Structures are given as C-alpha cells and as structure tokens.
Amino acid sequence: MPNSSLWNAHPRVAIPVEKIGEARCPYCGTLYKFKGELPKGHH
C-alpha cells in the first residue's frame, strides 16, 4: 500500500529479544536490542 507506514508493512510478530538481548524481525530484518538488564525468572 503506497500510503502505509513502514512499521505497518508486514504482519505483527513476537520478537524474542529477552533470550539473548537482541533479535531480528523475520520479515524486514530490523535488529532490535534490549536495553538494560535482561529479565530474570521468565520462561
């Protein structure tokens, strides 16, 4: 769609940055990095 924002260009997905502190979007390749201390006690 020509008037769509870039963030709206693909389906919403859960990106598991909590595992190693960073992860890439499987659709656009954007690298997301978790800032600060990683959460503890989560599954």
In the predicted model, what is the mean pLDDT of the chain?
81
Domain limits for position 23: 1-36
Higher-confidence residue of 25 and 39: namely 25
Cα–Cα distance list, 35 to 2, 4, 13, 18 (Å) = 33, 28, 20, 10
Query: Looking at the domain assignment, is residue 42 inside a domain?
Result: no
Query: Looking at the domain assignment, is residue 5 inside a domain?
Result: yes
Tally of structural domains, the chain: 1
Q: Give counts: helices (H), strands (E), the chain.
A: 0, 2
What's the number of CA atoms in the CB half-sphere (13 Å) around residue 43? 0
Query: Looking at the domain assignment, is residue 18 inside a domain?
Result: yes
Write the Ramachandran bin of 21: left for phi over 0, alpha for psi from -120 to 50, otherwise beta: left
Token readout for 24 is: 């890439």
Whether pTM > 0.85 for this model: the answer is no
Query: Looking at the domain assignment, is residue 43 inside a domain?
Result: no
